[in-house]
Amino acid sequence: GDSVTQMEGPVTLSEEAFLTINCTYTATGYPSLFWYVQYPGEGLQLLLKATKADDKGSNKGFEATYRKETTSFHLEKGSVQVSDSAVYFCALSGGNQGGKLIFGQGTELSVKP
């Protein structure tokens, strides 16, 4: 079945460092891909999404490119801030999923000043 695999955390970076969180997926057909962020004590919030191959989703300085050839959707940010500390979830929604999302296990990011 469809699945999402993320790099394990926690990821600890210094402020202004470059961030990459790897995400790969397995899916039949052509899924849409998402990154969600969860701040402590809150629900998940949509960060960005891409609906077809080679699309780039971007928001708040974060970017991810839908790579069909490598089945990947890695999250990047050029300069992280302490306020980016959170758990990041990669997810997919396929045409045969009936509207539901399949989530990865989440990657915790901790940014130190």
Partner 1 sequence: DAGVIQSPRHEVTEMGQEVTLRCKPISGHDYLFWYRQTMMRGLELLIYFNNNVPIDDSGMPEDRFSAKMPNASFSTLKIQPSEPRDSAVYFCASSLAGLRSLFFGSGTQLSVL
Binding interface with partner 1 (CB under 8 A):
32, 34, 36, 41-46, 49, 51, 89, 93, 98-101, 103, 105-106
Least separation in angstroms between residue 17's CB and partner 1 is: 26
Least separation in angstroms between residue 113's CB and partner 1 is: 26
Question: Whose Cβ is closer to partner 1: residue 43's or residue 113's?
Answer: 43
Least separation in angstroms between residue 45's CB and partner 1 is: 7
Helix (H, G, I), strand (E, B) or coil at 83: helix
Question: Whose Cβ is closer to partner 1: residue 23's or residue 44's?
Answer: 44
Strand-pair partners of 70: none
Question: Whose Cβ is closer to partner 1: residue 32's or residue 85's?
Answer: 32
The tokens describing 48, both together, are 């960005």
CB 72 within 8 A of CB 63: no
Please name the residue that has the structure tokens 């960005």: 48
Q: Give me the sign of the Cα torsion angle 96, 101, 103, 108.
A: positive
